[in-house]
Copies of this chain bind each other. A is one copy, B any other.
Amino acid sequence: MPQKVFVSAQEVADRAGVSRSAVSRTFTLGASVSPETRRKVIEAADALGYHVNHLARGLMRNESGIVCLIVSDMATPHRSALVKALAQELQHSGKIAMLVNTDLLDGSVDLALRQAIRYRADASIIVSGMPDKSITQLCLKNGQRLVLINRDDEQEGPLRINLDDEEAAGRVVTAFLRAGRRRLAFANSEAGTPSLMAREHGFVAAAKAHGLEVVVERYGWTSYESGRVLAQRLLTLSGRPDAVFCATDLLACGFIDAARHQFFIRVPDQLCVAGFDDIEQASWASYQLTTFAQPLATIAREAVSWLESNETAKPEGQAHAIRLHADLVWRGSIRGG
């Protein structure tokens, strides 16, 4: 095995009998090279196993092609699906995703982000529950473009992609009413992220518009376990709810399991349940959860195409917000769909 593993443009040039610049141009989109030269270069490159060094290219061009994915709870069904969609879309457009996990508590979030900055990532996509304002600030300050997904921050500069959570929540009220339910409840986590709160507010407001009160309960973070606890609390109430909207499918799964296995309540006969995200488990036979589909592909496409379109523009220039519609997916957890 040779000591020197990587072959440089110079070596390719030597073998092809052309100049270094010719090699560079061959691998630069939209540069002018004669077909003959190009052929010779490609041939030599293949023979030698040459790959353009993006470290050096990034240094020159001041543009690395790296996009940083800042994400929390990434082992969660919804998050992992989103990350996958984003990674694929980035890959598809010739960029590459760097993964920064923000689940660790020891202040390594900040550390990780600085790491991304050191690699001169062109942009960051934040899929994290509650990023500090300082994080987004740091990104922008370092010339990164920024995409915020499902985070209705007030910030200027980044692209913000959101769902119409409030409107969706209103549709749940309609569905519950149509199923003949009047004792409504909302099960939320304590995370307090903008989209979760929007669902809560939308649900409560729509209910009030119909003259109904909603019992709201919040607990823990957005997990299956929290769903169980929330069920414990809501299903032991004197005027037990007959319909509950869970802020998240994961909560809903826990809620349904507790209702069924612990309280022997039948869904949807005795209790209607709705969720949000349309995670894979929502379609499983044990849950058959009526929920809202996150348009993952659209989110990813919008995010990446914005990054592409803004390639040359200054990061703080085009502030932009996209509001997407969430389709309701009817399954068995609400009666009379």
Q: Which of A's residues lie within 8 Å of B, judged by CB?
A: 1, 5-6, 49, 51-56, 58-59, 62, 64, 66, 69, 74-77, 79-81, 83-84, 87-88, 91-92, 94, 96-101, 103-104, 108, 111-112, 114-120, 141-143, 224, 228, 253-254, 257-258, 260-262, 280-281, 284-287, 314-316
Q: B314 and A286: CB pair below 8 A?
A: no
Contact indicator B91/A52 (Cβ below 8 Å): no
CA distance A64 to B5 in the complex (A): 14
CA distance A5 to B120 in the complex (A): 11
Q: Which listed residue (B77, B108, B262) contacts A77, Cβ 8 A?
A: B77
Q: Which residues of B contact A281 (CB under 8 A)?
A: 281
> Could you show 25 A-B contacts with beta carbons less than 8 Å apart?
A1-B314, A6-B142, A51-B142, A53-B118, A55-B56, A55-B58, A55-B119, A74-B80, A75-B81, A75-B83, A75-B84, A76-B80, A80-B83, A91-B100, A91-B108, A91-B111, A92-B108, A96-B115, A98-B98, A99-B99, A253-B284, A254-B284, A260-B285, A261-B286, A262-B285
Nearest neighbor of A82 in chain B, beta-carbon distance:
B75
Chain B residues in 8 Å Cβ range of A98 = 96-99
* Contact present for B51 and A117 (CB under 8 Å): yes
**Bound: A80/B80 CA distance, A:** 6
Across the interface, do B316 and A1 meet the contact criterion of CB distance under 8 Å?
yes
**Do residues A101 and B115 form an inter-chain contact, with CB atoms below 8 A?**
no
| Bound Cα distance A218, B1 (Å) | 42
Task: For the complex, give the distance between the alpha carbons of A163 and B115 in Å.
Answer: 33
CB distance from A45 to the nearest CB of B (A): 12
A47 and B143 CA atoms in complex are apart in Å by 17
Contacts A54-B118, A59-B56, A286-B257 given; does A101 touch B96 at CB 8 Å: no
Q: Are the CB atoms of A99 and B101 closer together than 8 Å?
A: no
Whether A87 and B75, one on each chain, are in contact in the complex, defined by CB atoms closer than 8 angstroms, is: no
Residue of B nearest to A115 (CB): B96
A260 CA to B115 CA, complexed, in Å: 49
- Give the complex CA separation of A116 and B99 in angstroms: 14
**A108: shortest Cβ distance to chain B, in Å?**
6
Q: Which of A1, A88, A96 has the most CB of B within 10 A?
A: A96
Residue A5 contacts which of B58, B108, B143 (CB distance < 8 angstroms)? B143
A99 and B69 contacting across the interface, CB-CB below 8 Å: yes
CA distance A62 to B92 in the complex (A): 27
Most chain B CB within a 10 A radius of its CB, from A103, A143, A315: A143
Q: Are B97 and A99 in contact (CB under 8 A)?
A: yes
A118 pairs with B52, CB closer than 8 A: yes
Q: What 14 new A-B contacts, CB under 8 Å, besides A6-B120, A87-B99, A98-B99?
A: A1-B316, A49-B141, A53-B59, A54-B119, A55-B64, A56-B59, A66-B119, A75-B280, A79-B80, A83-B99, A91-B108, A98-B98, A99-B99, A262-B285
